Amino acid sequence: MRDFAEIARLDTEVLRSLLEAGEAPERVRAAWALALRLGGTLRPELIQGSLTEPHPGVRRHLVVVLAGYQERAVLATLARQDLDGEVRAVACQYLSMIGRPEDAESWRVLHERLEADVSAEVRRAAIAYLPPHTPAFLRSAVASRVGDESLDVRRAAADKLLEWSGLSGGGLPDVLVSRFHLEPDPELRREWVRRACSLGGERALLAALLDAREGTLQFVLELYVAQRIQLPWECLRPVARRGHPGLDALLMDLLAPGAQPEADAWLLEVALRFWRESSQDYDDAVAWAAEGALKCLDERLEAGHLTAPDARGNTRARELRDALVEARRRALEYHLTWCEESEHGECFDEDWSLDGMMDVLLGLSPPGDHPLDG
C-alpha cells in the first residue's frame, strides 16, 4: 500500500482514478492530494464522492476536506442522512466549527441531531464543538442534555455550559446546580464542584443542596474542604441545623475567620452534645465532632476572632465546663477505660485529653468564673 507522499507525486489523472476505484486508504490519500493540488476546482467531485462513497471511513475524511471548502450544505446533508453514526458525528463537529452566526440552517441541523439522533457520539459531537456565538435555542437544547442517558453526552453538555458561563463571568449554571443531586457519576459531580469553586459559585451550589440527602451534602463539603474554601456562618447555618456530627466536623473546617458569635455558640453546642450523651453508647462521630468544636474554638480564641461571649455564650460556656467537671467524676473511668483498650485506641490524641478540653473552656470563661474543682 502506497503512503501519502508516494501517492501525492502521482499525475492528476491517476489520482482521479484512485479516488474513484482505489482501495479505501488510497481513495482517502488521493482525495487529500487532489484537494491540495487543485483547490476549489475539485469541489464537485468531492461532493459527489461524499454522497456516493461506500466506505464510512473515506466519507469521514471527505467531510473534513469539504469543511475546508466551507461546504455547509453538504455537511448538513451528511449530518442528517448518513447511515453511519461516526460520519454524522464528524459532520456535526465541522458544522459547529465553521458555523457563522447567520448560518440558521447549520444551527437547525445541530439542534435536530442533538434532540433526535440515536447515536450518543453524534449527540456529543453536536455539543462539544459549539462556539460562543451559538444561538439561544441551541444553548437551551444543550442544557437539556445534562440529563442525557449517556455519560459522555452529559459530560460534554456540562463542559460546554461551564465554558460559556466562564466566558460570561457567571457562576455555576443553574441547570447544573439543580441537576447536581441527580447526577449518578461521582467524578462528574466532583468536576462540577471544582468548577463551581473556580467560578465563585460555591455559595449558590450549597444553598441549592440544603434539602439534599446527607450523603450528597457530605460529598460537596468534603470537596470544599479539599479546595480550602471558607464561608461565612450565614452560609453554613442551614447545614448546621441538621445536627449531623459528620457534617458538623466539615463545617468547622469551612468556617471563615472573624467575629461570629452565633457560630461560636454553635461550636459550644456541638461540644455539649457529646457530654450530654456520655452515659449512652459511645459514638465516635459525636466524640470527634465535640473534639473538633473545642479545637476550633481554641484556634479562634488564639487568633483573636472570638469576641467576648454574650449572656447566652457565658451560660453555655459555664454549662459545658460544669458538664466536663461532672464527666470527670461520673464517667472518666467508663470512657477512658473503654478507649484505652488496645482494640479501641485512644478517644483523643495525647495532646487533646479531657484536661486539654478543660483548658479551652477556662479560656472561654470570664475571669473569676472558674469553679474550685481539681
| Helical axes 233-240 vs 261-276, angle rounded to 10° | 30
Reduced to 3 states (helix: H, G, I; strand: E, B; else coil), residue 255 is strand
Lowest-confidence region among 162-166, 169-173, 241-245, 277-281: 277-281
Q: What is the pLDDT of residues 177-235, one digit of tens each?
A: 888 888 999 999 998 888 888 878 888 889 888 888 888 899 999 999 998 999 999 99
Q: Are residues 212 and 260 in the same domain?
A: no
Residue carrying C-alpha cell 449518578 = 184
Which of the pair, 99 or 17, is modelled with greater confidence?
99
Length of the chain measured in residues: 374
Residue 274 covered by a domain: yes
Q: What is the mean pLDDT of residues 291-305?
A: 74
Same domain, 289 and 191: no
- Higher-pLDDT residue of 282 and 69 is 69
DSSP readout, 171-240? Answer: -S-HHHHHHGGG---HHHHHHHHHHHHHTT-HHHHHHHTTTS-HHHHHHHHHHHHHTT--B-HHHHHHHH
- The domain in which residue 314 lies consists of 232-374
Tell me, yes or no, whether 241 and 320 share the same domain: yes
303 with 257: CB under 8 angstroms? yes
Residues 209 and 290 in one domain: no
Same domain, 176 and 279: no
Please choose, from the candidates 69, 68, 66, the residue with its C-alpha nearest in 3D space to the C-alpha of residue 79. 66
Q: Check: CB of residue 214 under 8 Å from CB of residue 242.
A: yes
Question: Are 370 and 252 members of one domain?
Answer: yes
Q: What is the CA radius of gyration of the chain?
A: 33
Q: Is 185 within a domain? A: yes
Q: What distance in Å separates the CA atoms of residue 167 and residue 173, rounded to the nearest whole number?
A: 12
**Residue 245 domain flag:** yes
Q: Do both 243 and 341 map to the same domain?
A: yes
- H or E element at residue 88: helix 85-98
Q: Are residues 239 and 352 in the same domain?
A: yes
Confidence of residue 291 (pLDDT cuts 50, 70, 90): confident
The model's pTM: 0.68
* C-alpha to C-alpha distance for 38 and 45, rounded to whole angstroms: 11
Residue 50 — pLDDT band, cuts 50, 70, 90? confident
Distance (Å, rounded) from C-alpha 43 to C-alpha 122? 25
Q: With cut-offs at 50, 70 and 90, classify the pLDDT of residue 22.
A: confident
* Residue reference for cell 452515659: 279
